[in-house]
Amino acid sequence: MKVQPVRGTRDFYPEDMAFREWLLERWRQASRRAGFVEVDGPELEPLELYTDKSGPEIAEQLYWLDDKSGRRLALRPEFTPTLARMIAARQASLPEPVRWFNISRCFRYERAQRGRLREFFQWNVDLAGVEGEIADAECIAVAVDGLRGVGLTARDVEVRINDRRLLAALVRHLGVAEDRVPQVFGILDKRDKVPAETLGVMMAEAGLAAAQRQGLARILAWKDLADIDARELATPEVAAAAESLRRLFGFLAAYGIAEWCRFDIGVVRGLAYYTGPVWEVHDLGGEFRAIFGGGRYDRLLGELGAKAMPACGFGCGDAVLGLLLDDRGLRPALAAAAEFFVASAAGDNWTDILRVVRHLRGRGRATQFDLKGGSLKRQMKKAAEAAARYVVIVGDELSAAGAVTLRDMQSGEQRLVPLDALGG
């Protein structure tokens, strides 16, 4: 019987595993450069960690199970609830601000499609304990550094930034009732996912009058903070939120990443827990779904059991980013499995071969040899398949003079070297 992998999961063959580890290391480097420290938690969490915040319907989007003790558990779909639980457990002793990052294996039970999988790796960066736009700018700067680290530039991607407080104030200014604002946000979050006609129908079904729909269309056409009409800025809420965004963009300019960032009033983020600035990273060609997503969530830690504290952060999955890097030709070449390959010029002389292998590995050099033995021609072929930089040919010189023949596979040059000097 041929067994297929579970839909929405991946097998990582050597070239895929090498890319995965390369990408995760770039994420770690960007996080550590900014002084964030790595944490992790269990992949299994109590289901109520997710349902208490989002309601029981969230279980339909999760992988969950009843264990042998009758406890209902879930495979983690994201790291933020675990982060909140961990902060709550040691909040009194944690120095502020909390600067944590995590690379999680996450699971979501949703329709598998290009760039969206049921099992994926996600890079999370979170900053808790700091109010004000400087914290949001710090997180965005880490994200941009991560993008640079994998070879992307401001010609490839952009960070689209909005503030939910600004959008909420504008929607209310159009006469939309407070209890309808979350519904409007949900519709706007689908703006790039459904046709404009469908969006209009959804707004009408939500009870928005024609004048309100026209007002939203006018607002969504804004391309810059300077486009905000004076009549909207006349309201204190709109003016305060717009000024907050101006401060944020000022910090981003000071970080030297202004060219990566632009204002986009249409960025909403689907998660209801965001309370302030929100942002997404998109490719400029518009070929892929959002690569990153992040924002401020000042109430979430308190709602998930920790003492209330301001917080912001982001998450980046590996699936869409991997597709973009492939499209841009930025996937790195597979590294050689071995630097040295030890071959025998005189049949299967295992004692001498293993002496050399032991010497090289003892010096920390990646070393292979042909476990099946055979002719020198066969061994040289295996060395080429391993992409080894050097082949060490063991012959009579080892016993006579303690030396071996070292062949440079790039230049083709070879010379006799003392074993003691090999790999030094």
Alpha-carbon distance of 135 to 141, in angstroms, equals 10
What b/e string do you get for 183-200 counting C-beta neighbours within 10 Å, with b at 16 or more?
bbbebbeeeeeeeeeebb
pLDDT, block means (10 residues), the chain with 424 residues: 91 94 98 98 93 74 93 94 92 95 94 87 97 97 98 97 92 84 79 76 81 83 87 87 96 98 88 87 91 92 87 96 95 90 88 95 96 92 94 90 94 94 90
Candidates 146, 141, 184, 183; CA nearest to 161 is 141
Alpha-carbon distance of 210 to 72, in angstroms, equals 47
164-173 and 236-254 helices, crossing angle to 10° = 150
Cβ pair 268, 281 in contact under 8 A = no
**What pLDDT was estimated at residue 54?**
67
**What pLDDT was estimated at residue 199?**
77
If DSSP codes are grouped into helix, strand and coil, which group holds residue 122?
strand
**What pLDDT was estimated at residue 333?**
87
- Tokens, residue 342: 């030890």
- Bridge-based pairing of strands 37-38 and 98-107 is parallel
pTM of the model: 0.90
**What pLDDT was estimated at residue 351?**
92
User: Residue 268: what residue type?
Assistant: V
Domains of the chain: 14-41+79-327 (3.30.930.10), 340-421 (3.40.50.800)
If DSSP codes are grouped into helix, strand and coil, which group holds residue 99?
strand
**What pLDDT was estimated at residue 197?**
77
- Tokens, residue 30: 């960007």
